């Protein structure tokens, strides 16, 4: 049975993470300051260090939430639609997942950026669970690819899943950042759809080579 004190502590921690998430979401990671958070959740500056050992820990907690929401968004995009019976269905699903990634990033720009921007201060090692949660994302790309190239070596397909994920990420990155105006942001979804479709078509083609 948790004591009143433990309950209050738990609520305070949630409030802290909520405040941090909100701050990052609308002002970016660089705007996250211990003093502001203390004011927002109504406690003294030092009290924050009873809830969290570090600013890093706080950012990681927010990151974990973001990763979970992203995972859910990709899951939703991947789960809907026809079962993965035909190559066409697999292509559609892959496109849907990629577009979902794009939309999530656009709708959560600062939180999404924080996932990649944040570096542990001083000593480097990012905790293992973070890497874990990140790895889980690739699953959403792997299943449809297996349908498109069933004969392919699993290792090779895994690499392709990661590659495709990274490629889509790159397109979204160039589209959402002001810098490097490469991909006009209005055209991101179109660009991604074409990239994924072309890759799928290439893959299909590779599996069933055209007779010369």
Partner DNA sequence: TGTACATCAGTGAACGCGCGTTCACTGATGTAC
Print burial letters for 158-169: b (CB count within 10 Å at least 16), e (below 16). Answer: bebbeebbeebb
CB of 156 to a copy of itself, least distance (A): 8
> What are the backbone angles phi and psi of residue 11, rounded to the nearest 5°?
-65, -40
Q: Does 124 bind DNA (CB under 7 A)?
A: no
Q: How far apart are CA 87 and CA 93, in angstroms?
A: 10
CB of 128 to a copy of itself, least distance (A): 11
Region from 45-53, 86-94, 134-142, 178-186 binding DNA, contact rule CB under 7 A:
45-53
Per-position x/- string for 185-204, each x denoting binding to a copy of itself as judged by CB under 8 A, each - no binding: --x--xxx-xx-xxxxxxx-
Nearest 10 degrees: CA dihedral of 190, 194, 197, 202? Answer: -170
CB of 52 to DNA, least distance (A): 8
CB of 121 to DNA, least distance (A): 6
Q: Which does 162 bind (CB under 5 to 8 A by kind): a copy of itself, DNA, none?
A: a copy of itself
Binding residues vs DNA (CB under 7 A): 3-5, 8-9, 12, 32-35, 43-47, 49-51, 54-56, 121
């Amino acid at each position: 049975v948790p004591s009143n004190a433990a309950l209050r502590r738990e609520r305070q921690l949630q409030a802290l993470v909520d405040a941090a998430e909100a701050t990052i979401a609308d002002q970016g990671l660089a705007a996250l300051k211990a003093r502001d958070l203390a004011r927002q959740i109504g406690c003294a500056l030092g009290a924050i260090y009873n809830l969290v050992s570090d600013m890093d820990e706080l950012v990681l907690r927010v990151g974990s939430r973001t990763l979970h929401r992203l995972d859910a968004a990709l899951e939703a995009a991947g789960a809907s639609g026809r079962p993965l019976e035909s190559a066409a269905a697999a292509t559609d699903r892959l496109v849907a997942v990629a577009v979902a990634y794009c939309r999530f990033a656009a709708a959560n720009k600062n939180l999404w950026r924080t996932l990649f921007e944040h570096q542990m201060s001083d000593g480097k090692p990012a905790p293992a669970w973070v890497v874990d949660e990140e790895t889980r994302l690739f699953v959403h790309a792997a299943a449809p690819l297996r349908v498109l190239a069933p004969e392919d070596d699993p290792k090779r397909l895994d690499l392709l899943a990661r590659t495709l994920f990274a490629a889509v990420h790159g397109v979204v990155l160039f589209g959402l950042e002001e810098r490097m105006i490469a991909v006009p942001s209005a055209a991101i979804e179109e660009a991604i759809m074409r990239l994924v479709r072309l890759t799928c078509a290439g893959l299909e083609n590779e599996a069933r080579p055209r007779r010369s």
